[in-house]
Amino acid sequence: MPYKLPLGPLHPAFEEPYKLTLSCKGEIVEDAQVEVGFVMRSIELLAQRRNYIRDLVLVEHVCGICSNVHASTMAMAVEKIGGITVPDRARYIRTIMGELERLHSHLLWAGIGAEDIGYHSMFMEIYFLRERVMDILEAISGNRVNYGMISLGGVTRDITDPKSILAMAEEIKKGLEKVVIPIFTQDKTIIARTKGIGTLSKDDALMYGTVGPLARASGIEEDIRESFPYAAYDDLGFKKVVLDSCDVQARVVVRALEMMESIRLIEEALKNLPSGPIRPEQVPLTIPDGEATARSEAPRGEVFYYVKSNGTDTPARVKIRTPSFVNIPSIRAMVKGQYLADMPLIQASIDPCCSCTDR
């Protein structure tokens, strides 16, 4: 007998409110309807009413987890229009912030993934590690969630003591190598729950326009840090992680290996931190007429900004495309014919962020 099972908007397995209506037959899911829009805040509209300096703070609030990347991508777009060059040290610090944020986001995701399959011990271990990442973020920026590090043309705060941060990064690296990666790649119950589940073929991934770890786990060779480097990725060298097994396990492994790459980038950037100013002496308050797009790789995938300026201190239009906006619809392609028991894990495997999606 077919029946409809609602997951959400509020559900123990979801971080944020959105709704999946599953049409099931027994324990098999036949189709899913996705509804979003529960946390819409009209940030794009608000951004058109504030000046550029306040906008950088505003767009940080698009997402509670990948906040830094929004500010930095917006800054990139505005810098393109205004022709502002970013000093080397600021480029490196932006990279370090971006990678720390990725680490923190992937760890958060791993914890929730573990919780969704009832693996509470793993959840505790991972959140303990994530706490260390947030300690580093706090040491650098003074904040644990919305960092306020990005200013037009540079960053607001300098890294004064790279050595102590290197030591903290070393501790996280050990935790990742000893606990997180072995368990996620070798534990039998985890493999039983993830292998061959929630398959998203490469063709579907392209059709839905998916981005980020989700796309890379489906064999799409796309990482903007490598193909169109920004910040300091060109100097540091970057290797993307691509797998083509297309299932939840591939997404787990892609994220696990990305965390290792992030740690490497952070250490490299801290060791080679160039000296110099962290922002230009004079940053214009008004930006000349023009329009520009900017893209960067957030933890969940590619963030896209379009900024149009009309020569005043307020943007005429800010368009934000977050990775979850394209990733969430692809849930529909993944769930068909899957078991109901796998639904929390499948939806978690794309790392949906509803604040991002609704803005």
Partner 1 sequence: MNNWWINAILALLFWPGLLSGALFGWFLLWMSRKFIARLQGRQGPPFYQPFFDFWKLIGKKTIIPNGVNPVLFYALPIIGLISIIFALALLPVPGSSGISFEGDLVLLIYLIEMPVLMDVIAGYVTRSVYAQVGATREAILTIAYNLPFLGALIALAVRLHSFKLATFAAAPISIATILAAVALFVALLAQLKVNPFSIPNAEQEIVAGIHVEYNGLPLALFELTHALETSLLVGLISILFIGPFTSIWMKLLIFFVVAVVVILLTNITAAGTARLKVQHAFKFYWTWGIAATVLVVAAALIL
Partner 2 sequence: MDDRIIKLMEQTGLEKPEERIDGIWFASQTIDRQKLADSVHKLELRLSTATCLERGDGEFDVLYHFVHGSLALNIRVTTKNQHLPSLAAFLPSASWIEREMNDLYAVEFDGHPDPRPLVRPAQVPAGFFRKSVAESLLKESEAK
Q: Is 24 annotated as a binding residue?
A: no
Among 197, 273, 182, smallest CA distance to 231 is for: 273
214 lies in the site for partner 1, by CB under 8 A: no
Q: What type of residue is 217? A: A
Q: Which does 208 bind (CB under 5 to 8 A by kind): partner 2, partner 1, none?
A: partner 2
187 lies in the site for partner 1, by CB under 8 A: yes
Question: Of 55 and 358, which has the nearer Cβ to partner 2?
Answer: 358
Sites for partner 1 among residues 117-156 (CB under 8 A): 117-122, 124-125, 128
Q: Is 44 annotated as a binding residue?
A: yes
* Whole-angstrom distance, CA of residue 294 vs CA of residue 71: 11
* Whole-angstrom distance, CA of residue 186 vs CA of residue 25: 32
163 lies in the site for partner 1, by CB under 8 A: no
* Whole-angstrom distance, CA of residue 223 vs CA of residue 89: 23
Out of 40, 45, 53, 192, name the contact with partner 1 by CB under 8 A. 192
**Smallest gap from residue 118 Cβ to partner 1 (A):** 3
Backbone angles phi, psi at 33, to 5 degrees: -110, 135
Q: Which does 12 bind (CB under 5 to 8 A by kind): partner 2, partner 1, none?
A: partner 1
Q: Which does 115 bind (CB under 5 to 8 A by kind): partner 2, partner 1, none?
A: partner 1
**Region of 16 on the Ramachandran plot (φ > 0 left; ψ -120 to 50 alpha; else beta):** beta
Q: Which does 27 bind (CB under 5 to 8 A by kind): partner 2, partner 1, none?
A: partner 1
Q: Which does 5 bind (CB under 5 to 8 A by kind): partner 2, partner 1, none?
A: partner 1
Question: Of 103 and 246, which has the nearer Cβ to partner 2?
Answer: 246
85 lies in the site for partner 1, by CB under 8 A: no
Q: Which does 319 bind (CB under 5 to 8 A by kind): partner 2, partner 1, none?
A: partner 2
Question: Of 162 and 315, which has the nearer Cβ to partner 2?
Answer: 315
What residue numbers does the annotated binding site cover?
A: 44, 63, 66, 320, 353, 356
**Interface contacts to partner 1, rule CB under 8 A:** 3-6, 11-13, 26-27, 114-122, 124-125, 128, 187, 189-190, 192-193, 339-344
What residue numbers does the annotated binding site for Ni(2+) cover?
A: 63, 66, 353
